[in-house]
C-alpha cells in the first residue's frame, strides 16, 4: 500500500528543458562563451543549478560563479516561459488516491514557483529542493521527508526519470518507478537495472496501482 509518492520534478513532472537552456545560454553569452545546444544542456540537468552551470562553462570552471549569477538572473524571471507538465500528468496528479511530495535538486523556491505557476502546487504535501537538503542521490533528504510524514520507506514510492533518482531509491531504500519521457533515455535506465519505465501517464497510473 502506497502512503506517499515522491516525485522528481525536471524530466518527471515538468518539461523545463527549453527554459533551462535559454538561461544557460544567456549566462554563456554574458561571459563571451559559445552557446550550448538543447541536447547538451538537457544532459547537464539533474544535480542542481550549480553543477548545471559548471558543466555548461567547462572547461572554463573559473567562470562558474559569474555564470551562475547570470543564470539565476535570467532563470528566475523566465522559468515558466516554456515549462509545462508532461501530457496527462495534471489529470493523474488529481486522481492519485494518496499524498504526493516533490524532491528535486532544483532550488526549492524555484520548484515551488513552477508548481504554483502550473496550478498544481496544492496537490503536494511538501516540496523539497536541492538547497534545502543534501542533493540527491544522498538519501538524507528523502529519509527526512518520509519521517516528517510518518511514512516508512516500505510504504512509499519514488517516481523519477534519471540515474540520480534510481541511485536515491536504492540508497533510501524504497521502490522506484521510472518514467521514460524525461532527460535520460529509457535504455540507459534499463541498463542500470531500473524497472521498465512508464511511457505515458496511463502506464504511470498503472505502475502506481491507480489505473
Q: Which residues are part of the catalytic machinery?
A: 8
- Selection from 116, 151, 139, 112 nearest residue 128 by Cα: 112
Cα separation, 197 vs 89, in Å, equals: 15
Q: How many CB atoms lie within 10 A of CB 116?
A: 13
Cα separation, 94 vs 96, in Å, equals: 6
Written as nine digits, the cell of 188 is 540507459
Written as nine digits, the cell of 146 is 518520509
Task: State the DSSP string of 160-190.
Answer: ESSHHHHHHHHHTT-EEEEBSSSSS-HHHHH
Give me the residue label for grid cell 541511485: 167
Alpha-carbon torsion 145, 111, 122, 163, what sign? negative
Amino acid at each position: 500500500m502506497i502512503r506517499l509518492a515522491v516525485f522528481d520534478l525536471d524530466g518527471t513532472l515538468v518539461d523545463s528543458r527549453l527554459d533551462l537552456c535559454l538561461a544557460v545560454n544567456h549566462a554563456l553569452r554574458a561571459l563571451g562563451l559559445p552557446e550550448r545546444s538543447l541536447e547538451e544542456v538537457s544532459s547537464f540537468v539533474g544535480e542542481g543549478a550549480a553543477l548545471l552551470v559548471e558543466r555548461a562553462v567547462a572547461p572554463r570552471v573559473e567562470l562558474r560563479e559569474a555564470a551562475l549569477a547570470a543564470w539565476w538572473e535570467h532563470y528566475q524571471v523566465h522559468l515558466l516561459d516554456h515549462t509545462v507538465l508532461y501530457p496527462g500528468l495534471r489529470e493523474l496528479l488529481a486522481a492519485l488516491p494518496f499524498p504526493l511530495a516533490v524532491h528535486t535538486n532544483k532550488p526549492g523556491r524555484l520548484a515551488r514557483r513552477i508548481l504554483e505557476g502550473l496550478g498544481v502546487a496544492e496537490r503536494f504535501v511538501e516540496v523539497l529542493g536541492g538547497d534545502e537538503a543534501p542533493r540527491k542521490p544522498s538519501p538524507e533528504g528523502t529519509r527526512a521527508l518520509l519521517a516528517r510524514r510518518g511514512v516508512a520507506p516500505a510504504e512509499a514510492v519514488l517516481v523519477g526519470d534519471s540515474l540520480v533518482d534510481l541511485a536515491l531509491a536504492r540508497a533510501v531504500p524504497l521502490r522506484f518507478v521510472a518514467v521514460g519521457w524525461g532527460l535520460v533515455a529509457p535504455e540507459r535506465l534499463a541498463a542500470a537495472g531500473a524497472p521498465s519505465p512508464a511511457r505515458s501517464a496511463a502506464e504511470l497510473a498503472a505502475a502506481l496501482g491507480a489505473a
